[in-house]
Amino acid sequence: MNPPLQLSTEVLELRTRHPFRISRKGPEPIRTVLVRIRDADGVEGVGEATPQLFYGETIESVHAALTRYAAVLGHDPFDLEGIDRRMLLALTGNASARAAVSSALHDLVGKRLGVPVYRMWGLDPATIPLSTFTIGIDTPEVIRQKVREAAEYPILKIKLGSDNDLAILEAIRSETDRELRVDANCGWTVKQAVRMLPVLEEFGVTVLEQPLPAEDLDGLAVVTRHSRIPVFVDESCHVAADIPRLAGRVDGVNLKLAKCGSLREAIRLIHTARAHQLMVMVGCMVESSVSITAAAQVTPLVDFVDLDGAALLAEDPWTGATLAAGRLTLPTSPGLGVSPRGQ
Ligand code: MG
């Protein structure tokens, strides 16, 4: 029998071009964990874990979880379902660590077969919707500057949920008439959200994401009932099993690898959402092109894309999917198609 798959890690230190702020947290240094998985023939796949303290993960917890997951990889990288199951049996939670392993395994398998992952799944990258570019919370002056710098992007995603929401919307509209989507990152109460709805409409907002705290599903149903703008959830939806209780309460869900824990679960979540007549967005954290390119593989299946995480970086240590003028282009090389920058 082949020797077991080998897992190794490396910490990536990432800096954003501007300090990045959303409703619950300020700017902070971003560290992610690059995961490499190598098979007996020396073929290697890579993935990236982007831990979020909000979901109980840190760099330290990712390393600890990966030690457990490395022990259950087994010998066969094609055993994708079995490895997902064994990781969950070994240790639940730790979604970003599991997502990194899943991405690395898909990269490895694609390389062994000589095809990009999306081709392996029969998906056509020509059908990927345009991606948004995110404007984090800041002073009106900095926001106007960010909007000017983001001139190439046709759709902007605006972070709200601070005390300055109206000033932010006014600052943005003073600069641009582009399409705007809003993410409040759990920052409002039901009353605030319902009061904001006509304001958002007046400013021409086309999508409202996570207006309320994650657990307030009944409140979300109230907001959705009052809203002419589609209401999406992000923090309220991690895995496919979350979908049935969201159905009928909201219009769509934002899928992220760092929450759902694997590429296989991402696809299950998309199909479950469709079966419940929910729309699907694919989103990301602030992370390198490794994670963005992994998430990008499922985008031919979804309605909305928000994969600007690597575009927000001052320097991205990896290359892969590219984002130009909001158009996401997937690499044509086997696996995920990512490489260290400069190679
Ligand atoms: Mg969000």
Q: How far is the CA of 41 from the centre of ligand 1 (A)?
A: 40
pTM: 0.96
* HEC assignment per residue over the chain: CCCCCEEEEEEEEECECCCCCECCECCCCEEEEEEEEECCCCCEEEEEECCCHHHCCCHHHHHHHHHHHHCCCCCCCCCHHHHHHHHHHHCCCCHHHHHHHHHHHHHHHHHHHCCEHHHHCCCCHHHCCCECEEECCCCHHHHHHHHHHCCCCCEEEEECCCCCHHHHHHHHHCCCCCEEEEECCCCCCHHHHHHHHHHHHHCCEEEEECCCCCCCHHHHHHHHHHCCCCEEECCCCCCHHHHHHHECCECEEEECHHHHCCHHHHHHHHHHHHHCCCEEEECCCCCCHHHHHHHHCCHHHCCEECCCCCCCECCCCEECCEEECCEEECCCCCECCCEECCC
As a whole number, mean pLDDT of residues 273-287 equals 97
pLDDT at 28 over 90: no
Average pLDDT over residues 270-298: 97
pLDDT in tens, 299-311: 999 999 999 999 9
Residue 132 CA to ligand 1 center (angstroms) comes to 12
Distance of CA 316 from the midpoint of ligand 1 (Å) = 22
- State in Å: Cα 232 to ligand 1 middle: 9
Q: Which domains does the chain have, with CATH numbers?
A: 6-114 (3.30.390.10), 120-340 (3.20.20.120)
Over residues 130-185, the pLDDT tens digits come to 999 999 999 999 999 999 999 999 999 999 998 899 999 999 999 999 999 999 99
Q: How far is the CA of 90 from the centre of ligand 1 (A)?
A: 29
Separation of CA 256 and ligand 1 centre (Å): 9
What is the whole-number distance in angstroms between the Cα of residue 13 and the centre of ligand 1? 22
Predicted confidence (pLDDT) per residue in 37-86, tens digit: 999 999 999 999 999 999 999 999 999 999 999 999 999 999 999 999 99
CA of 200 to the centre of ligand 1 (A): 17
Kindly give the distance from the C-alpha atom of residue 228 to the centroid of ligand 1, in angstroms, as a whole number: 19
